Each structure stands twice: as C-alpha cells, then as structure tokens.
Amino acid sequence: MADSRQALALMAILVVVAAALAVGAQAVCDMDNDDFMACQPAAAATTDPQPAPSEACCATLGKADLRCLCSYKNSPWLSLYNIDPKRAMELPAKCGLTTPPDC
C-alpha cells in the first residue's frame, strides 16, 4: 500500500509539471519545466533498460512539494507524457526520499 502511494505521489509530480508545460511552464508544487525534464527519462514508458534517476532529478524531487503533488495522483496526464506509473513510483525511493504518509 505504501509503495502504491509513493508511486502515485511521484506520478503526481510528473503530471503537475506536465500540466505546467501546457499553461506556460509556471512552477507547480515547486517544479518547473526543466525539473520535470530532469526526471522524465527515468519514468518514461518506452525506455529500456530503465535509466537510474539523474542527480538533477533527485535534487528536483528533494525540493519538490510532494504533499502538493499527491493531489494530482489520479490524473490521466501521465499517459500523455509517456510516463510509466510503476517507474514513476520507484523514483523517490531510488533518490533516497520518503513521500508523505498521507499521500
């Protein structure tokens, strides 16, 4: 259950940033377009083998408002940006981060 919550939180991060791209690239939940792009390769549905998250991605996730991003966890935007939910779920742990327990 906790893993699925973490996955949803990370997916939310990617979804929110993707949404920001569509409305002028304003920062959402403390992530901007460049931040999103730093994490996208590690969560892409079509990249095999899956690359590890970059240092830039982990730094971005470390400063992002994960609680804010949780509010986007059920968004359909992930598929529009070729994000694999399972891969997205793995990113916080791979970066040594913990998502909020109520996410």
Residues 13-32: tens digit of each pLDDT? 666 666 555 555 567 788 88
Whole-angstrom CA distances from 79 to 18, 45, 63, 76, 88 are 11, 9, 24, 6, 12
Q: Where are the domains of the chain?
A: 2-94
Collapse the DSSP code of 54 into the 3-class scheme (helix H, G, I; strand E, B; otherwise coil) and give the result: coil
Q: What is the pTM of this model?
A: 0.68
* Extended strands (E) in the chain: none
Q: 31 has which bridge partners?
A: 28
Q: Which fold is adopted by the domain 2-94?
A: Hydrophobic Seed Protein (1.10.110)
Ramachandran quadrant class, 28 (left: phi over 0; alpha: psi -120 to 50; beta: rest): beta
Cis peptide before 49 (omega within 30 of 0): yes
Among 16-25, 50-59, 76-85, 91-100, top mean pLDDT goes to 50-59
